[in-house]
Structure 1
Amino acid sequence: MSEIAVLFNGYSTMSANDEMTANCTCTLIKGAHNIIVDTMTAWDSDKIISALKSHGVIPEDINYVVSTHGHSDHIGNNNLFLKAKHIVGFSISYKDKYYIFPFDKGQEYVINESVKVVPTPGHTLSDVTVLVKSNQGEQVAITGDLFEKHEDIEDPNIWLEAGSEDKVQQARNRSKIADIADWIMPGHGAQFQVTKELRQTLRKQIV
């Protein structure tokens, strides 16, 4: 089991002059390994260090950095964590060593008995989701931009307009993750509970 702490909830808003203001959800997982998922923008380093400190963690304590995909608001502070193995989308590395792993074949990367990284392409073709078994015994999915926010369940235009490199795969993976998760932590909103009705809605959206 693992302890999950949302350090910062993501957000995204569009202004009248077509300028977007956005940042991603940043999550700490504490357990057999300390893991940070999605490290926000390059201007957020002080915020992240301070938030980690409030949970009794310093950057050197982090064993894994997982960026659900390679967009700039999800990788901005990866370089704070120099003792960690880095998983950025389908790419796994430590210093100048790269580890070939068949995410593209659908294989799941197991970090420990309560945390694994699964391929969920759609938003980008190398998106991943982190599945965590919480201390409460619930399955939590940290999805990055597979889900933008809770509102994109009823209004798929939200995730489509945020950019999707493969909307067919994304719709399928949204439904797949919802079918196994109790809670979803989306890329740009607060966590939400997965209900039977939500699962049914997502199944209907599969092309």
Structure 2
Amino acid sequence: MSSLVRTEPLRGEPPLLVPGDPYSVVVLLRGYAEPEGGDNAVRADGSVTLVLPQAWSPTSGHRHPPPSGGGAKTSLEEAARGPILVDTGGPWAQEALLGALAGQGVAPGDVTLVVGTHGHSDHIGNLGLFPGAALLVSHDFCLPGGHYLPHGLNEECPLRLGPGLEVWATPGHGGQRDVSLVVAGTALGTVVVAGDVFERDGDEDSWQALSEDPVAQERSRKRVLGAADLVVPGHGAPFRVLREVSQPEKKGLDQRQQEPAVD
């Protein structure tokens, strides 16, 4: 069934909590990108999002990722049992990040997995705060200490971290290795933390100029809009994705509903 898609910013200031089972999503810091001075200079930082398993609490203790002998699948699933951070912002936002985590009862040592959507400095500038976490930055997955594991992520094969929790390959903005985190089962439906697949709501006039591969990014954008009920973009407020059946289809549905059933 085809549908019309429109978007609508989610109201409220960070931290924005979207409860869910088995994972809740908290937008800790809202990204921004603002012109500054001349020569097309921009002042920017990326959004930072926390994903909390319902079963985790500050008193449950720190869970270390397993040894590498278990392979990437086992290691990812184990790492996802604790707090997951998606992007870290730039190093200039370190104090804001630490304060936002503390507001959720999360210490840097509690974070068991950091997902970096791509390798730009405004999205992974604070990785050094989480030496005990497993890191999935773009398509590179490593355990603490720098032990890298192959995993096979591609556009047809996501990485499953837990029930309704996946990492998708969403190439385009930073090249071929960008990723997004997909969280199903929240109070607002499926949340996609999309990095810079979307700069912000209503970015149709600007995203292509910032993309290393606009063709791939267009494909990623369509995929995200087809699955998400809420998108956390890289540099703006989260926005809802609302779908409406097109008018011709609505008319056809109405006509079929009025027709008598045929035995």
Q: TM-score, normalised by structure 2?
A: 0.70
* Residue in structure 1 matched with residue 198 of structure 2 by the alignment: 147
> What do the CA deviations read for 1:91-142 (whole angstroms, capped 9, x no partner)?
1112221111222463211111132111000002110010012442610000
Percent identity (aligned): 35
Aligned equivalents of 2:188, 2:211: Cα separation in 1: 32
CA contact (8 A) 2:155 2:170 kept: no
How far has the Cα of 1:165 moved from its partner?
A: 1.4
Match for residue 216 of structure 2 among 160, 169, 172: 169
Match for residue 21 of structure 1 among 20, 24, 43: 43
Aligned equivalents of 2:140, 2:158: Cα separation in 1: 13
Which one scores higher on RCO, CA 8 angstroms, separation ≥ 6?
2
> What do the CA deviations read for 1:3-41 (whole angstroms, capped 9, x no partner)?
111111001112350110110000011104310011011
Q: Which has the larger radius of gyration?
A: 2
CA contact (8 A) 1:4 1:134 kept: no
Mapping of residues 25-174 of structure 1, within 5 Å: 25-31=47-53, 32-94=81-143, 95-104=145-154, 106-124=156-174, 125-136=176-187, 138-152=189-203, 156-161=204-209, 163-174=210-221
- Structure 2: segments with no counterpart, 5+ residues: 1-21, 54-80, 245-263
* Residue in structure 2 matched with residue 200 of structure 1 by the alignment: none
Moved over 3 A (4+): none
* Residue in structure 1 matched with residue 33 of structure 2 by the alignment: 12
How far has the Cα of 1:87 moved from its partner?
A: 0.6
Q: TM-score, normalised by structure 1?
A: 0.88
Aligned equivalents of 1:75, 1:148: Cα separation in 2: 16
C-alpha RMSD of matched pairs (Å): 1.4
Aligned equivalents of 1:78, 1:188: Cα separation in 2: 19
CA contact (8 A) 1:24 1:187 kept: yes
Structure 1's 24 and 105: CA in aligned 2 closer, same or farther, altered over 3 A?
closer
Q: What secondary structure sits across from 1:170 in the alignment?
A: helix
The alignment status of 1:195 with 2:233, answered yes or no, reads: no
The total of aligned residue pairs comes to 193
Structure 1's 105 and 144: CA in aligned 2 closer, same or farther, altered over 3 A?
closer
> What do the CA deviations read for 1:20-69 (whole angstroms, capped 9, x no partner)?
01100000111043100110111222211111111011011111000100
Aligned equivalents of 2:102, 2:87: Cα separation in 1: 17
Q: What secondary structure sits across from 1:194 in the alignment?
A: strand
